[in-house]
Structure formats: structure tokens, C-alpha cells
Structure 1
Amino acid sequence: MTNKELVLEFYDKVFNAHDLSDLGRYMREDYRQHSPEVADGREGFRAFAEGFFQLDPHMTIMAAAEDGDRDFVFFRCDFRANGGAAKVCDIYRVEDGMLAEHWDVIQPISADDAFNNGNGHF
């Protein structure tokens, strides 16, 4: 399995299925986190995800790319529990076939967002 395939399967099985039962298959125990609201480690991610899943998120992947040990995922995240949405780019470092480190860029989006150029978010 390529690093990109690993990341995409992680999104499908963990984020979209809201299933943390096989987290050890995807993520190193010493997973390093660069999002300020999420603690380091697999258990830090688990604690975050348990709360995050209350929003009933669904990720629609727009693009994914692999560059060495870095994988980039660009997606729309819809929060079905409250009608919110965000445009997100997640970056992962993969080590020995497992997620080892994470960075993200998040922009909330709304149907009311105005575009001077007419291009839209995606």
C-alpha cells in the first residue's frame, strides 16, 4: 500500500465511517500533532475524534498527493449535525507505513460566501 493509499483509507475508515476501532493500523503511538486543539499521540487523536464525531463530519476528498514521506489531502468537510462546512488541507508525514505527524489548514465556508471572481471554494 502506498502512503497515499494509506491516507485515503484512513479518511474512509476512520473519519467518514467514524470508526476508531482499528486506529493502531493507521497511526503510530507517538503520532505528533501540530493542530493546537489536538494532543499528541494516538490517544490524543482518539480523544479529539470522539468529540469531533459528535458533529457528524463527512469528508469529500477533492485532491490527494504524495511527495516522499509527505501526503497532502484537500477536502470539503461537512458537519451534518449543525450544517457547517470547512475547506481543509491536511498534511501527513508517514513513517514505516503509519501516520507519524500532522499539520492542517482550515477555512470555514458558507453558502453566503461572496466571491469577487466567481470561482467558488472548489
Structure 2
Amino acid sequence: MSDHRHGNSPAGPLPAFEPPYQMVVFTSTRTEGDRGYGATADRMDELVKELPGYLGHESARTPGGLGITVSYFRDAAAIEEWRSVGEHRGAQKQGRADWYEEYTVHVGEVVRSHGWKRD
């Protein structure tokens, strides 16, 4: 996979957070061309970081076009707050009109989380 973008880290996975917390998994295939996608994605990154309860995200896209973004939030209320942000709702609408062939959203609770890093 390529095009890794992380909420707080330029490379590598985000750290493990103290459970429980929520995750939103957004899996998509894109249409051809950018049509403002990159600039909007950058703006969404800025906006979501302002939300209390946002922990970070990880994102990758395969050469074949499958994209997976996993966003982490402290609780369901933080996810609902993100869903209600006007600019985010506008980006979702434009995504359906211009940027995505298809997508799926999964929301779940993380009950266990750990990490490891080589010294």
C-alpha cells in the first residue's frame, strides 16, 4: 500500500491508545482524477484535529485503487460531532458526486490495543 498519511506521525503506525475507544474504517475506491480531492482531504485533516476526542488516523491506498482510512476517536460522541461538521458533510456530498466509485464505513469499539517498536 502507499500514500500513508497519519494524524500525528509522518511514517509508521499510530501508538496504541488506552481502550476503550472508537474507530471508523472508511474503505473506498476512487474515480479518476483529483478534482479538488487533495485540497479537501488536507482541509478535513485540519478540521478533525480541532475536535476534542479525535485521536488520529492512518490511511493507505493500493496501486489498484483500494483506499482504507482508519480514524480513532475517544468515544461515540466525538464521532457524532465529526459527522455534524458542516464542511465535513459538504465533503461527503462532493465525495459521492465526484471522488468515489464506492465506499463502505464501519464503526466499532476497540476493546484491546497494544503496540511494539524495535529499538
TM-score (normalizing by structure 1): 0.34
More strand per residue: 1
Which TM-score applies when normalising by structure 2? Answer: 0.34
